[in-house]
Structure 1
Amino acid sequence: LFAGSAAEFGDEIPNPERAAYIRSLSEAIDDAALRENYAQFATYIETEPSVQDQVAGTDAAVQSLLDDYNAGTLTGNRVFTLLATAQQQPERLTDLGADPEAVISGITRLPEIVDQVDNPRLLYALSVRARREGDTARANELFQRAIDNAESNAQRADFYYSAGQYDRALQVFPSHGPSLYRRAGLIAQSVGRPTSLRGRFAYWCLADIYRNVAAQTSGQIASNARTTASRFERAGPSRDQYFLEGFSPGQSVSASLGAYGSCTTRVR
């Protein structure tokens, strides 16, 4: 039901109808940690974007912001509005003769950003920029502030995923679809292309893993996971091949997942 909620209500944010539906599902869950994750996700998707995410409404407003920025008089929420506009709609600044990258770089050093910003999405974006500019210490500090100020574990998982920390994302939000799918892909890479009969049992394990991803996610991720599971299912040994080695359908077998240890699955 959770996995199908995106198809039923859409995946845009804010989405109060989907949030109410997921919150109702959470009330029926016995596992306290999973129930809390569902409740936090519901809060996350029903929350309106922060003022620090709002872009300027008109080109005249953008020009006014640029004028104040160039004059050194840009302060308060206007700083965040210009930054959000430069990040989300850079072409609007370009059309007015400004360099959005230079504007962003300058704004991120203003006191409003350095000391006062608490919007987690903005903090994460700034951490990415700082890392790209080679300032690792500042990037790490901004990233941690983004994590600390995140609105939910679901959002924390988004940040960890974007930073390539898939296992950490799953620690804070076990049903985080992108991380589940990416981790399955890493396991598949570790398995490689085994040629022995027993080695190819790992393909059935991978099919199990991807089906589990599909069961916990929704939308395109779930669809891709089901397709990949079917592909690995077919890649396993045929009946003619494993029958000659004394195996039979339904029998429990183990296989290596490379760097990810071993797995147990059943003969198809």
Structure 2
Amino acid sequence: MPEGHTIHRLAAEHLRMFGGRALRAESPQGRFADGARQLDGRVLDGADAYGKHLLLRFEDERLLHIHLGLYGTYTFGPVPAPEPKGLVRLRLAGAAEFADLRGPAACELLEPGEVKVLLDRLGADPLRADADPERAWRRISRSRTSIAALLLDQAVVAGPGNVYRAEVLFRQGIDPSLPGRALTAEQWWAIWADLVSLMREGVATGRIDTVRPEHTPEAMGRPPRVDDHGGEVYVYRRAGLPCLLCGTEVRTERLVGRNLFWCPTCQAGR
């Protein structure tokens, strides 16, 4: 599932391509045919991201909500757009470029009241200036749930996914099994600041790099990571390999339906 930095990049890309312009909208797959008819010919007034939710605002308050989920993808290109390939849920096309959306978990038009309901159930997004990390801390500090699980709960922190979760806990040396209520305020604010920094870099570069300068392949004289996820990381998808810092074997287990990765030495107490 794409992490929050990807959705913020998608919002910026939609504004770049289509902002202030009337668009052609169609649903080649047919599953969003009525919604596409309502959007066809409308001007895109704005694009925003909240956690993993993309919100495209059209004139007369029509708002398109997209959540990519596990399988959703976007394809962009110049017009004229080719014949749709695969199950294209929505095609938006401007004067120069088009965007094809396939396989989203959600693609729907929402009324203003429905948007408020959606946003009210989301936690603090590290990439938003209006985020309220204090609200997240209040929930975390009262919870018996592990910090690893809490960081994947979009009602607590919106945007970070499995990669950022594993990497920020490693960077802060925090045991993933630590209950939220056992976390110190100092640890929480360090986690939050790290997420803000790492995710902003992800928006800028389009990839997730979490290793510090002294731990890059060039600095350590090691081969670069080869993985379809891309980016240099400490523990994510490195189960069975030696920790880059201490040499201990990186471990993994399933937690709330996702694979958790950690170093039992650098994240002591496990």
Same topology, TM > 0.5:
no
For normalisation by structure 2, the TM-score amounts to 0.28
For normalisation by structure 1, the TM-score amounts to 0.28
Report which of the two has the higher share of helix.
Answer: 1
